[in-house]
């Protein structure tokens, strides 16, 4: 391994002592300690927890000689940690999933603008911050999962249609507290406005087959078992189950199908995992080089294979299971709008009674 990996939980205890001492956390490899001032290092704080990401970091080190020091943890905990560390933070790059979480970091002024022709060329405009504060690295589509015995694909059309009376008692979805759902509504607010989005949310709530519970995997299982006929989930959860050898998972996939909504209109909602250079980064040049590598075709392929996601760079091959789902029209709204509209979204779901 060419990277040093730590868990946020295991380091929280010593953080207060380190900050009080006016120094930043150090990581060790072998017998030699390395400080945050080393020239050939980039410190990455990441809330992505996929083992295949380590292959990316190793390849980056092999190509550049820059060692990756990795700290993993919950996104909100990492944001709070960078804030607490302040100017003493060793963090160079913050990686997280969902544009809404990137917005949270942005609101805390944790990013610095990056001007990179490589990143501007590789990452589509709607998948990066307008001012270069962060860049999308992978795409995940918010799709409709349907029970093949209860629903024909021709009956499906848009997210909005799921609020119609015909779907009464037939819809499953996770809690409105989930950032994926908040970002979906944030995109709707951007395209349709607050009033129409709220009307949709109220209609959806009235059509629920059960109170929101569990994650996206649980929504797929509920559709497969007939608890509900349709659910809104991220595509890669279905793809993950489809690659399983477990008999129950195989049955779930056999009973369900994937539908990309809004293909005749604005397109299917997509979200991202993304990253930005930390405002106080001690190795900002290394950080930019790291982001540029993550946007390379080589890295994009590894990203896509690791979690069954879509690459942000055009022309990069996707996982066969994902490729079988076919191509689809993507909503072109800039993902930065998801966070910007979040305060309106919270009010909407509260008024709609979406728990």
Structure confidence at residue 38 (pLDDT):
58
Structure confidence at residue 278 (pLDDT):
98
Distance of CA 135 to the CA centre of its chain: 12
Alpha-carbon span 31 to 27, nearest angstrom: 11
> Is the Cα dihedral 105, 333, 303, 277 positive or negative?
negative
Q: Which of 150, 325, 331, 337 is nearest to 236 (CA)?
A: 325
Structure confidence at residue 8 (pLDDT):
52
Structure confidence at residue 3 (pLDDT):
53
If one counts every other C-beta atom within 10 angstroms of the C-beta of residue 56, the result is 23
Do the first three CATH levels of 4-138+270-323 and 141-268+328-352 match, i.e. the same topology?
yes
pLDDT digits (tens, 9 = 90+) for 275-313: 999 999 999 999 999 999 999 999 999 988 889 999 999
pLDDT digits (tens, 9 = 90+) for 195-251: 999 999 999 999 999 999 999 999 999 999 999 999 999 999 999 999 999 999 999
Contacts of residue 19, defined as CB under 8 A and 6 or more positions apart, other chains included, come to 84, 85, 86, 88
For residues 154-174, average pLDDT: 98
If one counts every other C-beta atom within 10 angstroms of the C-beta of residue 328, the result is 18
Higher per-residue pLDDT: 108 or 12: 108
Q: What is the DSSP string of 163-215?
A: GSGGGTT-EE---TTSHHHHHHHHHHHHHH-HHHHHHHHHHHHHTBSS---S-
Specify whether the CB–CB gap between 189 and 227 falls below 8 A: no
CATH fold of the domain at 4-138+270-323: D-Maltodextrin-Binding Protein; domain 2 (3.40.190)
Percent of the chain residues topping a pLDDT of 90: 86
Cα distances (Å, whole numbers) of residue 236 to 160, 178, 270: 22, 16, 12
CATH fold of the domain at 141-268+328-352: D-Maltodextrin-Binding Protein; domain 2 (3.40.190)
Higher per-residue pLDDT: 113 or 27: 113
If one counts every other C-beta atom within 10 angstroms of the C-beta of residue 324, the result is 11
Range with the poorest average pLDDT among 23-27, 71-75, 277-281, 313-317: 23-27
Residue 32's pLDDT band (boundaries 50, 70, 90)? very low
Structure confidence at residue 7 (pLDDT):
55
Sequence spans of domains, the chain: 4-138+270-323, 141-268+328-352
Predicted confidence (pLDDT) at residue 110 exceeds the cutoff of 90 = yes
Tokens found for residue 204? 């959806």
Specify whether the CB–CB gap between 126 and 333 falls below 8 A: yes
For residues 99-108, average pLDDT: 96
């Amino acid at each position: 391994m060419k990277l040093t990996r730590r868990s946020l939980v295991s380091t929280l205890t010593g953080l207060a002592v380190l900050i009080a001492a006016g120094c930043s956390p150090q990581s060790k490899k072998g017998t030699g300690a390395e400080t945050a001032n080393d020239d050939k290092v980039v410190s990455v704080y990441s809330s992505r927890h996929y083992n295949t990401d380590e292959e990316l970091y190793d390849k980056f080190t092999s190509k550049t000689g820059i060692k990756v020091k990795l700290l993993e943890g919950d996104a909100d905990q990492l944001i709070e940690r960078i804030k607490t560390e302040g100017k003493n933070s060793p963090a160079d790059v913050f990686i997280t999933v969902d544009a809404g979480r990137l917005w949270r970091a942005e609101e805390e002024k944790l990013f610095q603008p990056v001007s990179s022709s490589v990143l501007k060329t590789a990452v589509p405009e709607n998948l990066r911050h307008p001012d270069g504060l962060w860049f999308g690295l992978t795409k995940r589509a918010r799709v409709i999962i349907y029970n093949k015995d209860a629903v024909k694909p021709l009956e499906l059309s848009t997210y909005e249609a799921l609020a119609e009376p015909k779907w009464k008692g037939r819809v499953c979805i996770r809690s409105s507290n989930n950032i994926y759902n908040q970002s979906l509504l944030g995109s709707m607010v951007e395209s349709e406005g607050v009033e129409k989005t709220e009307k949709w949310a109220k209609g959806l709530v009235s059509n629920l087959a059960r109170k929101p519970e569990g994650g996206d995997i649980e929504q797929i299982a509920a559709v497969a078992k007939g608890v509900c006929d349709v659910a809104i989930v991220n595509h890669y959860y279905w793809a993950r189950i489809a690659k399983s050898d477990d008999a129950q998972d195989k049955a779930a996939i056999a009973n369900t199908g994937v539908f990309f909504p809004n293909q005749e209109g604005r397109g299917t909602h997509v979200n991202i995992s993304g990253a930005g250079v930390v405002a106080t980064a001690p190795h900002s040049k290394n950080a930019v080089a790291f982001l540029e590598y993550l946007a390379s075709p080589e890295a994009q392929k590894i990203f896509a294979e690791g979690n069954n996601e879509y690459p942000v760079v055009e022309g990069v091959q996707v996982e066969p299971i994902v490729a079988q789902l076919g191509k689809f029209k993507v909503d072109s709204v800039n993902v930065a709008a998801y966070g910007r509209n979040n305060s309106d979204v919270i009010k909407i779901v509260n008024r709609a009674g979406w728990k």
